[in-house]
Amino acid sequence: MRAAFDRLDEALNGRSFLVEDRFSRADLTACALLSPCCLREDSEFPAAALNFRTGLRGRRFYRWVRTVYDSHRRCPTGGQA
């Protein structure tokens, strides 16, 4: 997983999106798969998983997932999620 996170950090270096210069299915898919690591704040995860997730907070991809969700996710009523 760490090697995959390293590759994702490198792919995002100086970029806002994974493919070209706009939000795409690649961004949607990556963020959906990474959302449990980057967005969930509940404490129902085992302690080891919580510690692992805490260690990810400084990573480029972690900030990117949060930014994509803040910028592109909308509630059905039109508000932010």
pLDDT tens readout for residues 6-64:
999 999 999 999 998 999 999 999 999 998 888 777 667 788 888 888 889 999 999 99
Tokens coding 66: 């949060």
What is the residue extent of each domain of the chain?
2-72
Would you say the pTM of this structure is higher than 0.85?
A: no
pLDDT at 70: 86
Q: What are the E-state strand segments in 1-81?
A: none
Q: How confident is the model at residue 65 (pLDDT cuts 50, 70, 90)?
A: very high
Q: Are 63 and 55 in contact, with CB atoms under 8 Å apart?
A: no
Helices 47-56 and 25-38: crossing angle in degrees, nearest 10, is 130
Cα separation, 37 vs 58, whole angstroms: 12
Tokens coding 44: 């129902």
Q: Does residue 75 carry a pLDDT above 80?
A: no
